[in-house]
Chains A and B, each alone.
Chain A
Amino acid sequence: MTATRSAPERTPAVPRRPVRTLRTAVGADPARGVFVALALTLVIGWLVVALDGGQLLNQSSVVSLLHVATGLGLVAAGQTLVILGGSLDLSVGYVVSLSTLVAAETMNGSDSRITPAVLLVLAVSVAIGLVNGVLVATVGINAFIATLGVGLLLKGYLENGYDGPAGSTAPTLVQTLGYQRVGPVPVAFLLFLGVAAAIWFALRRTRYGHHLVAVGGDPDVARLSGVRNDRVLILSHVLCALCAGLAGIYLASRLGSGAPRVGVESFYDLESIAAVVLGGAALAGGRGGVAGTVGGVLLLATVDSVFNQLEVDAFFKQVVRGVIIIAAVALYARRRHRRHRERTGAPS
């Protein structure tokens, strides 16, 4: 056994794991796919609608598309934060409904009470978010069950207290937030973009954002690195509920009154999670971004708009939506899996 005989046989390469720094985690762009899909959907949708003799991108349909995107988008933007942290929030639908009622009943049709109404809605949302956050982060309950439980509490309150629309939104708010537009773009959509931009900034540029991604990626590593996981998660839940509260104020302005069933009937809880996942986020946390969520929301709203233009049966719409959500996530999962295999050098 001379030295020459045992000439360095290549040691089997240790699978190289990509170094997961905060920068790569935040900087990787999971959003690209969803915008490609959005573009494709727009083109195909435009073609199909054109063949049907319609026009997908005329003023009125763009406006209604953006309004659909605003309600879902505000909820989904907040949902992005909790999902990034490895949690999720199933109570948002009920928070939205409750917020429309709190807003409309406090205003009771008078402009002078807009400020207290908005403040009250935000306070209620913060309180609910705090409960969610404490249950998930401090008590340590599975987020699915914790937020489902809180949602059920709110559901019982809503069903016990309200049969139908209640209260009335201040006219000024209806005119501005509900219906005012800049060209084809509703003011409310700009509000949504503003919220999304703020969250984008928080994720990319603040310590909170970096800590959140770290907590979602690996809670133990985050804790050992000195991140206070519970605080980060609680703050995310509070912000998520705040976003749902904002969506409630928007819907109250849009509908003119409080609507106890709007959040559930719009499937905001499940659709917001779908939008976030369509935007390339991992349900397990640690990967994703608000830009992707905006893409996911626009994608869902576009599909909705195309179906409306084609006057497709509402139930058929739901079937197709289910198929799209599964198919899109399956595509992502496949691509991610392949990339992962290439990187780690595992046999395919």
Chain B
Amino acid sequence: MTAELTRDPDGTATQRRSGAAARGRLTRPGGVLPIVAILALLLVLIAIQQPDFFQPASLLSFLGRSAPIIILAAGQYFVIVSGEFDLSVGSLVTAQVVVAARLIDSDPGRTWPVVLLLFGFGLLVGLANGLITTALRVPSFITTLGMYLILVGAVYLWSDGAPRGGLSDEFRRFGRLAVEDVPLLGRLPYALLVLLAVAGLLLLFSRSDPGRTLVAVGDNPRTAELAGVRVGRAKTVAFVLSGLAATVAAILLGGYSGVSFQAGLGLEFTAITAVVLGGVALGGGRGALLGAMLGALTLETLFTLMNFYGVSGALKSTVQGLIILAAVSVGALRRR
């Protein structure tokens, strides 16, 4: 983008730092190199303390455990890169898990219809977020905050304050079980397969025309509109993707840790943190999906590292806060 500006023949375009154009794809602001470096550092620290972590089995199960938050971050990426926020994903995860438990009610026969229903619900919530934000012009911060209150309140109300029913083993399989006896790798968690499939699909989408349009919308909605993009529709698609991603995350999380009202607590902030850590600019228009997903993986690695070093669970958020502030400060100062 910088290169195009400086190439402008009439010379009226603002001259930006020409060094920025020369910088590679990976290191420019919004590139994935910084997050890869941080991730590598954390992995080295883990290797010092716990070399066993790199056994294929434990590494794969770690990736499986990280799948829900990586998928959530991927969904959040589309919303953030289009210039909006989605604060409702944590509550959506909780709602999905509780709804699934009550509807399935431990009856394996109802698993698939309910899964279908959950996707419908996720789509609907995303659609509502998107339409309220774009058609009614409510700032997405407020829209999704309101949706958060509504979902948490509704799910408590519907279940009279305590989760009821139960998930079928069929449902829990995705979050909990693994394909056994895979040659070379050993156990291959279903969650990891789901992650790979979702990540592949979303990466394809982010490189397609609609995916790139989303970034353009986030960068400058006015120019995008003048270029013929239906900005409202593009943003709504982003919210729907986030809602669907939250549904997948809910199915994995519900399977892994069972039914509780705490299932999705605080996940919206974790997802946003991961996205920002991955070099995606809040306010939209800059950043890569891969960076966002690596950001989520880095956060999970950090939490694992803290476990290995015996940091109290209560201090988790302090360390998380420090890391975010440090990473983002470096980014902000570098951008000067």
Contacts and interface: CB of A to CB of B under 8 A. Distances in A.
A156 interface: yes
Interface stretch (B14-22, B189-197, B315-323): B315-323
Interface in A310-348: 313, 315-323, 325-326, 329-330, 333-334, 337
A152 B318 contact: yes
A150 B152 CA distance: 25
Interface in B215-267: none
B314 A159 contact: yes
A140 interface: yes
Given A135-B329, A139-B329, A323-B150, A149 B321 contact: yes
B269 A326 contact: no
Contact of A329 (B142, B148, B282): B142
Contact of B283 (A142, A148, A160): A142
Contacts of A318: 149-150, 152-153, 156
Given A146-B328, A319-B149, A326-B146, A333 B321 contact: no
Contact of B329 (A141, A150, A153, A323): A141
Contact of B132 (A139, A319, A330): A330
A144 interface: yes
Interface in A156-192: 156-157, 159-160
A156 B318 contact: yes
Contact of B145 (A139, A152, A274): A274
Interface in B285-336: 312, 314-322, 324-325, 328-329, 332-333, 335-336
Given A145-B276, A337-B137, A323 B146 contact: yes
A316 B139 CA distance: 24
Nearest to B157: A315
Nearest to B333: A139
Nearest to A131: B325
Q: What interface size band does chain A fall in?
A: 35 or more
Contacts of A155: 317-318, 321
Contact of B324 (A152, A317, A330, A333): A152
By DSSP majority rule, is chain B's interface helix, strand, loop, or mixed?
A: helix
Contact of B321 (A156, A315, A317): A156
Nearest to B148: A322
Contacts of A319: 149-150, 153-154, 157
Given A135-B329, A151-B321, A316-B157, A270 B150 contact: no
Given A330-B136, A337-B137, A274 B142 contact: yes
A200 B146 CA distance: 28
Interface in A266-324: 270, 273-274, 277, 283-284, 313, 315-323
B304 to A, nearest CB: 17
B127 to A, nearest CB: 14
A334 B321 contact: no
A146 B272 CA distance: 12
Contacts of B333: 139-140
A322 B149 CA distance: 5
A108 to B, nearest CB: 24
Contacts of B161: 315
B147 interface: yes
A283 B153 contact: no
Contacts of A329: 138-139, 142
A156 B316 contact: yes
B282 A283 contact: no
Nearest to B316: A156
B143 interface: yes
A153 B322 contact: yes
Interface string B154-188: 10110001000000000000000000000000000
Nearest to A143: B282
Nearest to B155: A315
A287 B151 CA distance: 30
Contacts of A156: 314-321
A160 B314 CA distance: 5
Contacts of B321: 148-153, 155-156
A140 B329 CA distance: 8
B112 interface: no
A283 B142 contact: yes
Contacts of B153: 315-322
A321 B329 contact: no
B276 to A, nearest CB: 5
B235 to A, nearest CB: 15
B324 A148 contact: yes
A315 B328 contact: no
B324 A149 contact: yes
A139 B332 contact: yes
A329 B142 CA distance: 8
B205 interface: no
Nearest to B281: A142
A322 B276 CA distance: 27
A244 B178 CA distance: 49
Nearest to B145: A270
B324 A283 contact: no
Which of A135, A151, A152, A329 has the most chain B CB atoms closer than 10 A to its own CB? A152
A142 B282 contact: yes
Contacts of A334: 136-137
A160 B145 contact: no
Contact of A322 (B147, B269, B317): B147
Interface string B85-113: 10000000000000000000000000000
A323 B325 CA distance: 33
Contacts of B132: 326, 330
Contacts of A317: 153
B54 interface: no
A152 B318 CA distance: 5
Given A144-B282, A146-B328, 10 more contacts: A139-B332, A140-B332, A144-B85, A144-B272, A155-B317, A156-B321, A277-B139, A283-B141, A283-B142, A318-B149
8 contacts: A139-B332, A153-B318, A155-B318, A273-B145, A274-B142, A315-B152, A325-B149, A334-B137
The 4 closest A-B pairs by CB, nearest first: A156-B318, A152-B321, A318-B153, A322-B149
